[in-house]
Amino acid sequence: MRLSLSVLLVLTMLGASSTVVGQEAPALDHREDFKMNSISGGDFRAYISDAVAEEDAWARSMRTFGTFHNHMHALMTSLARHGVEARGDTAHVPSFGARISGGDWGAYREALGADGAEGPWAELVQITEVMHDRVHHAMFKAVQYDHATRDRTVATDDYIGEGRAPYTSEEAVISPRAQTVRFPEPGALQHAAWHEAGADPHWHLALQQFLVFDELLDKLLHTWARHGDTHAEAACQPAGFGDRVTGDAWANYADALSDCPDDRWRHFVQVSSLMHSRIQHMLTHAVQYHTEYAP
């Protein structure tokens, strides 16, 4: 494979990004390997449509979160189509319609694993599955927090599907520091998307969608940080952020909430930190895969 100067630049930046969050962790987990409560995307959107009518920052963040979830599945669809069209994974990717579901993505990962697939693409598929599940976990916690702190006339049981919430919060929430996560070097993904998208249109689209996904995440974290500032208990407030919540600052905030008496806010921040870390994990591996795939 020919490596242009700009690909070499990305490789150099990726190699420099060796910071990890937390201690060494075991092999990457899957949905059957960790305890997680969740809500479906359709039920999450239905809850917002039925119950969340305000125009304050928290309510807007809930609507942004719904868009964030939809964009995630659009991104995963582009990745799946790249798998079929550019990689020839026709025997591994299950048939799907306008967009791929989390269950179908899990089936894709399992099919690759059954064939012993290894390397950056197989790792990206695996990491994306875990990321997807943590997003649905955070959506569940957002609904719990919203319902507990707002005067809602709907019941959460009407929106949580059967079997989706079998665990207590204490069982399903782990410290963000319990996982090992690398953050992408600033600018690496942007450089790939802007200058070396590759020949496959689905991968080209996925790179642009990665960037938008990261921007939406940045908007969510910033809004949630400002919301944390309004909490009555000082132990629940962030130590302080600037214009952006960068690097592992959100994990630092989650770790600092041990004395916050508001369990629902503490758990929401902790689970959203797990989500944030897995998204960064996915973005880092997207750059790694790109250095091998891009012509």
pLDDT per position as a tens digit, 2-11: 333 233 333 3
pLDDT at res. 24 = 35
Res. 88: pLDDT tops 60: yes
Res. 28: pLDDT tops 80: no
Q: For the chain, give the number of residues.
A: 295
pLDDT at res. 180 = 60
Res. 206: pLDDT tops 80: yes
Q: Could you give the count of Cα atoms lying within 13 Å of 187 in the half-sphere of its Cβ?
A: 8
pLDDT at res. 185 = 80
pLDDT at res. 239 = 85
Section 227-251 average pLDDT: 88
- What phi and psi values does residue 20 have, to the nearest 5 degrees? -115, 155
pLDDT band for position 212 (cuts 50, 70, 90):
very high
Which of 143, 149, 147 is closest to 161 using CA atoms? 143
SS in 3 state form for 183-196? CCCCCHHHHHHHHC
Dihedral angle sign, alpha carbons of residues 101, 161, 43, 28: negative
pLDDT at res. 245 = 85
pLDDT at res. 178 = 54
pLDDT digits (tens, 9 = 90+) for 178-190: 556 677 787 889 9
Instruction: Provide the whole-model pTM.
Output: 0.87
Q: Of 30-34, 138-142, 225-229, which range is least confident?
A: 30-34
pLDDT at res. 30 = 64
pLDDT band for position 234 (cuts 50, 70, 90):
very high
Q: What is the mean pLDDT of the chain?
A: 85
pLDDT at res. 74 = 98
pLDDT digits (tens, 9 = 90+) for 102-132: 999 999 999 999 999 999 999 999 999 999 9
